[in-house]
A and B are shown apart, each in its own frame.
Chain A
Amino acid sequence: QLRLQESGPGLVKPSETLSLTCTVSGRSISSSSNYWAWIRQPPGKGLDWIGSVSFSGSTYYNKSLQSRVTISMDTSKDQFSLKLSSVTAADTAVYYCARYLCTDGVCYPLDYWGQGTLVSVSS
């Protein structure tokens, strides 16, 4: 059974860098066709796509966040990570990691999710 678990600080100061890690169990993150994503949800609001990294290390980012986001993977630990720089209060949200599949040029939506972790930006 595939499981994902987010970890990282729950409080980040304005202008600093938010760093989160997602640990995957039940599947190697380098397994073909697997893509690993970050999504966030500000309190009381809808879901925002942040970006993703493929099994081979290719990255895809939300254009509105692209200048501040880095997603990377550590295949030795079956983990992938999110770094979001220069945070403000607007970055306060529950951050989720999730998995989707792409095969033969066709992608499928997010079928496995972590439980989410709340990150607050405050001094």
Chain B
Amino acid sequence: DIQMTQSPSTLSASVGDRVTITCRASQSISSWLAWYQQKPGKAPKLLIYKASRLESGVPSRFSGSGSGTEFTLTISSLQPDDFATYHCQQYNSYSWTFGQGTKVDIK
């Protein structure tokens, strides 16, 4: 199976900060990479698909980039509603895998 590794595991930031989270795949997944946001006690919410395409209704401060094995999620100006855990997921094959998650908390 393809392994997904996120870094960092935890990130402390302030409102207005630019935040970047990295996700690495154990083998090339082309651009078949999604990012989700999850708040405590809630299901994940799809933010980005195909590495860089914004899901409908997602604020434009979220962006994604990368291809092959290295990907990033960037929040251009962190807002209070953005404190959450972020997960990457590869959907290159029929057996999908997730990263371990990155928690963004208040500095």
Q: Which residues of A contact B (CB under 8 A)?
A: 45-49, 60-64, 96, 98, 100, 107-111, 113-116
- Please state if A48 and B46 are interface contacts (CB–CB under 8 Å): no
B71 located at the interface, meaning its Cβ lies under 8 Å from any Cβ of chain A in the complex: no
Partner of A108, one of B1, B49, B94: B49
Describe A's contact surface by its main secondary structure: loop
Q: How distant is the Cα of A42 from the Cα of B51 in the complex, in angstroms?
A: 26
- The B contact surface, by secondary structure, is loop
Interface residues of B in 67-103 (CB under 8 A from A): 87, 89, 91, 94-101
Q: Do the beta carbons of B43 and A49 come within 8 Å of each other?
A: no
* Other-chain residue from B49, B87, B95 in contact with A47 (beta carbon distance below 8 A): B87
Write the residues of chain B forming the contact surface with A, with a CB cutoff of 8 angstroms: 1, 32, 34, 36, 42-46, 49-50, 55, 87, 89, 91, 94-101
- Report chain A residues within 8 Å CB of B50: 108
Could you tell me if A49 and B34 are in contact, using CB atoms closer than 8 angstroms? no
Given A109-B46, A110-B46, A113-B43, also A46-B96 (CB < 8 A)? no
A52 to B100, CA, bound (A): 21
Q: Which of B1, B32, B96 has the most CB of A within 10 A?
A: B96
